[in-house]
A and B are shown apart, each in its own frame.
Chain A
């Protein structure tokens, strides 16, 4: 078996294990991307490529560990393998300051002649407020391009701002890898709209000695198709990264991302109300999801998403627990507008006169009467 086949077998096995064997630790989540790309590396002809990218992320309250691999097969038949592992540890917060130590290592190989590896450590000092923050960082390590390892030294600074619908980040980094030096200035934005998450990065290598110069930018959109599956469309241009050994390229990729679901502990909240579980412990005929729309200047709008219903009622501490029929506003949408006060509220839903049930979108809690009740908060 060739090295490429062994690598492919290892990637496939890792990916399959992520899909079939749930993550052994409760804090572990895995992703498995299968994609098709068209890519043009600087100095090479454009090429199509198929990719398989397994990844795993292990989280603790004070740190994370991620591992990721990518297997690429180009239309020429050549293969590329990349793998990396990175971990970070957060120090306890001291007022608005927080320290972070991280380390990362990775390697890549293309055909049989180009291999790279790197190992770096980084320290960051974060200043964090709820809606904005900044950091400074220092990095040191080693990187090799198939020759004697070279020293990596880098310094960076950045700031971020969180707006209601958008998160912005700017950063600047000065890096030295052996006798290569370069300065990148970069900005990025992230926003989520419904099931779609958008990321965009725009940057410039404003100064360089041996690392190239120019503008670059990438964007990606991830469309969630449920709890486990998303479609990712991404593209753009990225610069040469002398640390990891990646060459500047333009690309466009479409991929399917499958995410593992690790075992749940105590689950009382879900994206869908469980079927066959009414608030009074009897069978409920169907599932419903409650959406609480709050606008401080107006009464609260309760919107219930439920399929195939001819009558939907709510009862709660805001109706004196008297059933209140909702108005149908669309195919599966039912709603009512009520003057609900700020605070914690209890609610149940009844569909077509069947048993009272707890709608998804609320927290399911014991109701003291042998069943459950939905809890929601109005700020």
Chain B
């Protein structure tokens, strides 16, 4: 028994040393997390997934003082999400796209939405995916958020999508329901709301007696 314990300890130490050798930043993890995280990262690298997001997720846990097992499971979950995103977006997806895709999937967007985004936009879809996840996090139902982003994805610039997200944020902060805020922001992006071309809903001039 003591011999097996010694062997297990030696193996753990070896794995930990290997992990630090692979990426010195992992030296900030405790002895429990280090070999587990290193194993996940090795597997991800072998699968062709980006490893930097995994390292960052582990470092975030270390900075926040999370237990090693929690850090390992968080990294494992992110690796699984990245794999799902790559399966939908294809092998040609960039690491930022995969990271944003993983966040969108985690937020509740279906794989079909990600695939449709990929088809509808020639440029990178990192920002559309990020805005999609962001809208959902702001309380916009997934279907509404997906419809909004898909409607803009083909022709809108990244900056337009960021504007959309800001407009939704502003309107929610002003008290609008997330769905209504998204609809109003869409109209704003299309110019309808901001310009009062919406015939039935245009406001009277404020203060006109």
Contact yes or no, A137 B199, CB < 8 A: yes
Contact yes or no, A234 B208, CB < 8 A: yes
Q: Does A205 contact B (CB under 8 A)?
A: no
Counting chain B residues whose Cβ lies within 8 A of the other chain, the interface size class is: 35 or more
- In the assembled complex, the Cα of A68 lies from the Cα of B203 at a distance in Å of 9
Q: Which residues in B have their C-beta under 8 angstroms from that of A232?
A: 206-207
The one of B131, B133, B184, B191 in contact with A162, judged by C-beta atoms closer than 8 angstroms, is B191
- Give the nearest-CB partner of A164 in chain B: B159
Q: Does A39 contact B (CB under 8 A)?
A: yes
- In the assembled complex, the Cα of A271 lies from the Cα of B141 at a distance in Å of 21
Q: Which residues in A have their C-beta under 8 angstroms from that of B2?
A: none
Q: Which residues in A have their C-beta under 8 angstroms from that of B174?
A: 29, 227, 259, 261
Q: A5-13, A303-311, A313-321: which lies at the B interface?
A: A313-321
Interface members, chain B 141-196 (any A CB < 8 Å): 144, 151-152, 155-162, 165, 169, 172-180, 182-184, 189-192, 194-196
* A15-30 interface bits toward B, Cβ cutoff 8 Å, 1 = contact, 0 = none: 0000000000011010
Interface members, chain B 50-75 (any A CB < 8 Å): 53, 56-57, 59-66, 70-71, 73-74
Q: Does A147 contact B (CB under 8 A)?
A: no
Contact yes or no, A104 B200, CB < 8 A: yes
Q: Does B45 contact A (CB under 8 A)?
A: no
- In the assembled complex, the Cα of A251 lies from the Cα of B178 at a distance in Å of 37
Q: B14-22, B34-42, B95-103, B110-118: which lies at the A interface?
A: B95-103
Q: Does A379 contact B (CB under 8 A)?
A: yes
Contact yes or no, B208 A321, CB < 8 A: no
Q: Which residues in B have their C-beta under 8 angstroms from that of A57?
A: 201
Contact yes or no, B194 A35, CB < 8 A: no
Using known A-B contacts A234-B205, A346-B60, A369-B74, determine if residue A102 contacts B200 with beta carbons closer than 8 Å: yes
Q: Which residues in A have their C-beta under 8 angstroms from that of B173?
A: 227, 269-271
Interface of B is mostly: helix
Contact yes or no, B59 A88, CB < 8 A: no
Contact yes or no, B139 A266, CB < 8 A: yes
- In the assembled complex, the Cα of A373 lies from the Cα of B78 at a distance in Å of 15
Contact yes or no, B200 A64, CB < 8 A: yes
Q: Does A331 contact B (CB under 8 A)?
A: no
Total A-B pairs, Cβ < 8 A: 255
Using known A-B contacts A102-B199, A133-B197, A368-B70, determine if residue A321 contacts B59 with beta carbons closer than 8 Å: yes
Counting chain A residues whose Cβ lies within 8 A of the other chain, the interface size class is: 35 or more
Give the 5 A-B CB pairs with smallest separation, nearest first: A102-B200, A88-B200, A253-B207, A261-B175, A343-B96
Give B residues with C-beta under 8 Å from A. Answer: 25, 53, 56-57, 59-66, 70-71, 73-74, 77-78, 96, 99-100, 103, 124, 126-127, 129-131, 133-134, 137-139, 144, 151-152, 155-162, 165, 169, 172-180, 182-184, 189-192, 194-209
Give A residues with C-beta under 8 Å from B. Answer: 26-27, 29, 33, 35, 37, 39, 49, 51, 55, 57, 59-66, 68, 70, 72, 84, 86-89, 93, 100-104, 122, 124, 126, 128-133, 135, 137, 158, 160, 162, 167, 169, 188, 190, 199, 201, 218, 220, 222, 227, 232-235, 238, 249, 251, 253-255, 257, 259-262, 264-271, 279-280, 315, 317, 320-323, 341-344, 346, 356, 363-365, 367-371, 373, 375, 377, 379
Known: A88-B200, A130-B189, A255-B207. 10 other contacts (CB 8 A): A55-B203, A64-B201, A126-B197, A128-B190, A131-B191, A249-B209, A269-B169, A343-B126, A379-B158, A379-B162
